[in-house]
């Protein structure tokens, strides 16, 4: 398969989360924060390059919104080029990774960062359709590709 974006910009990774005394306090409630969500998805592999979504700035902590009380997670992801044909696959990988990692009470929405892709509305609609997502995951070939993307190296 031909690589669409031959020379993507590569960014440095975020530092490890700093350890604080509160981390060891078992009596504190420890709600999810955006960094935790980011840590779950930052190492997803790009389908085209031997790089992670974090290194390509496809996902960024600042583009994650989280509401613990409403149980809502909202992710914007940014394809490296506006005609990237992998956008749906990347979005699916983020969705699947979070569906498998987060408690089921969370409602996860994954959308393209506004203005960064030619087929933004179509891709967003497809990613939001849980019936299509469910059917896609029953497709063994596609499921294998997604599992490759979210595999922990």
Partner 1 sequence: MTGKLELVHILEGHKGRVWGVAWHPKGGTFASCGEDKTIRIWSQNVNNQPTTKTILSDGHKRTIRHISWSPCGKYLASGSFDATTAIWSAVSNEFECNVTLEGHDNEVKSVSWNKGGNLLATCSRDKSVWIWEVTGDEEFDCAAVMNSHSQDVKKVCWHPTEDLLASASYDNTIKIFRENTLDSDWECINTLTSHDSTVWSIDFDSTGQRLVSCSDDKTMKIWQVYPPGNEEGIVTPDNIPAWKCVCTVSGEHTRAVYDVSWDKTTGLIATACGDDAIRVFKEDPENSSKNEPTFNLIAKVDGAHSQDVNTVSWNPKQPGQLLSCSDDGTIKIWKIVE
Contact between 17 and partner 1 (CB under 8 A)? no
Q: How far is the CB of 138 from partner 1 (least distance, A)?
A: 5
C-beta separation of 56 from 8 below 8 A: yes
Among residue numbers 95 through 114, which ones bind partner 1 (CB under 8 A)? 104-105, 107
Could you say which of 10, 14, 118, 135 contacts partner 1 (CB under 8 A)? 135
Question: Residue 24 or residue 131: which is nearer to partner 1 going by CB?
Answer: 131
CA 52 – CA 20 distance, rounded (Å): 27
72-77 and 64-67 strand pairing: antiparallel
Contact between 69 and partner 1 (CB under 8 A)? no
Helix (DSSP H) and strand (DSSP E) numbers for the chain: 5, 3
Q: Judged by CB under 8 A, how many residues of this single chain contact partner 1?
A: 12
Question: Residue 16 or residue 140: which is nearer to partner 1 going by CB?
Answer: 140
Residues 6+ apart with CB under 8 A from 81: 4, 5
Question: Residue 58 or residue 108: which is nearer to partner 1 going by CB?
Answer: 108
């Amino acid at each position: 398969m031909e690589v669409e974006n031959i020379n993507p910009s590569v960014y440095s990774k975020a530092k490890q989360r700093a350890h604080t005394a509160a981390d060891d306090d078992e009596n504190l409630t420890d709600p999810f924060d955006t960094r935790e969500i980011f840590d779950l998805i930052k190492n997803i592999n790009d389908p085209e390059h031997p790089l992670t979504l974090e290194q390509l700035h496809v996902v960024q902590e600042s583009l994650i919104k989280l509401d613990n009380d409403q149980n809502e997670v909202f992710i914007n992801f940014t394809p490296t080029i506006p005609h990237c044909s992998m956008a749906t696959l990347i979005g699916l990988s983020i969705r699947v990774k979070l569906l498998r990692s987060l408690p089921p009470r969370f409602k996860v929405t994954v959308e393209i960062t506004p203005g960064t892709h030619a087929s933004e509305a179509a891709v967003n609609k497809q990613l939001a359709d849980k019936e299509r997502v469910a059917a896609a995951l029953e497709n063994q070939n596609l499921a294998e590709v997604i599992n490759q993307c979210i595999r922990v190296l």
